[in-house]
Amino acid sequence: MNYGIINGSMKTAISIDDGLLQEADETARLMGLSRSRLFGLAVVDFLQRQRREQMLLRLNEVYGNGEEPSERRLVKGIKAKIRRTVKESW
């Protein structure tokens, strides 16, 4: 999805706090953007963050279940080899 280019647009009405709207208008003016463009960019940013957060949650679910027994044996063997190597170096 390419949100940088808006092929079509739809008018919508939203309710927003007066102070936040004033701050958004000022920010849009300083950036040389329309209010609509600023809100569009903000929504794109929010949705991208949500997707990344959901992906991280899924990855944590997959990898958070602990090591498989074969992985534990492998890690244990690697640690033992490192300990022996360190002891021999001293």
Q: Is the pTM of this model over 0.85?
A: no
On average, the pLDDT of the chain sits at: 85
Residues with Cβ within 8 Å of residue 38, at least 6 apart in sequence: 24, 27, 28, 31
> What is the arithmetic mean of pLDDT over 51-77?
82
Q: Residue 52 in contact with residue 46, Cβ under 8 Å?
A: no
- Buried-state track 17-46, b at ≥16 Cβ within 10 A, e below 16: eeeeeeebeeebeeeeeeeeebbbeeeeee
pLDDT digits (tens, 9 = 90+) for 43-59: 999 999 999 999 988 88
pLDDT higher than threshold 80 for residue 79 = yes
Least confident of 56-60, 64-68, 76-80: 64-68
Quote the pLDDT of residue 63: 75
